[in-house]
Amino acid sequence: MNSKIAGVLILAILGMLLVNEGNGQVICPSFGDLLDMGWSNNQPSRGNMDEFGVYDGTPFILKVGTYPPVKSWPIQYTSGSLCFDSEEPNFTFYYFSFDTDTDIHLEVPINYILQMTTYYQVKTYRRNDNGYFTNGYSMEVAPPHPNQIGAVVPDLVIKFDGAYHDCSWDILAYPCSLFVTTPVIYSPSALNVNIKGESYVNYNSNSEFIADINGGSGVYGIKWSTRNIFSQDWEVRKQNTYPSKSLVFGADTLYYYDDDVLVQGKQES
């Protein structure tokens, strides 16, 4: 092989590598599409400004920490996205996201803040057309602090199966495995609720109780009742046939939760 041909081949190979590397710079959807331009409180408002999300190409159900399982939200690219395709402007994918900020963007729209560097159990699963639940994945996720990833905004998106999807930092310098444990298969069981809180409330004191819901369809009616330890009569503290908040996507109403699963209890004199 003469030097001229060899030189052309080297340039061609180098060009292919550069093209591949360039293509790898744009991940669709990007973390910005999901965490900065996700749904806000009121449609068609966009701008959730969250830091952790889960993404998939088809609908799924997500459980994070003690937040109730929720149905993923459908979304399309904004016209300003690098992934936007004018020939397919209504291309739809699915996500759900949470905030880690403790001082800004609260309740936009989820009022459940993940604490940085704290591990949360994350579970994914699906419900098929026949109403049966199908397997998903379970993993532990600790949203990073900016100081752990080079002092940048800690935006992280993982896939339905727990694999890395996209982030705001140099993933080679700070691998996803530092913040997400190895996923395992999760088999959703029948709906169950574990009440987290004190076993009783002392006289003239307060306590917060959380209904930790696992399994189910993503829509739960909540009813809280309390009673004095010496009484047989229950007093309804809170009752919601449906969650108090929702977003409407065409014919589908997808619910999410504010403090529906919380109740403040106080023993009276």
Q: What pLDDT sits at residue 253?
A: 93
Nearest to 40 by CA among 106, 127, 88: 106
Model pLDDT, residue 224? 85
* Residue indicated by tokens 């996923």: 183
CA-CA distances (angstroms) from residue 154 to 81, 147, 168, 244? 20, 9, 6, 30
Q: Determine the residue type at 3.
A: S
Between CA 62 and CA 70 the distance in angstroms is: 5
Instruction: Identify which of 120, 124, 133, 189 has the alpha carbon closest to the alpha carbon of residue 162.
Output: 124
CA-nearest of 219, 263, 225 to 241 is 219
Are 226 and 265 spatial neighbours (Cβ–Cβ below 8 Å)? yes
pTM (whole model) above 0.75: yes
Query: What is the dihedral angle through the alpha carbons of 216, 217, 223, 228, rounded to the nearest 10 degrees?
Result: 10
Full pLDDT tens readout for the chain, 269 residues: 554 444 433 333 333 333 333 335 689 999 999 999 999 877 777 889 999 999 999 999 999 999 999 999 999 999 999 999 999 999 999 999 999 986 665 667 898 999 999 999 999 999 988 888 999 999 999 999 999 999 999 999 999 999 999 999 999 999 999 999 999 999 987 788 998 888 777 777 888 888 899 999 999 988 888 887 788 889 898 888 888 889 999 999 999 998 777 766 554 43
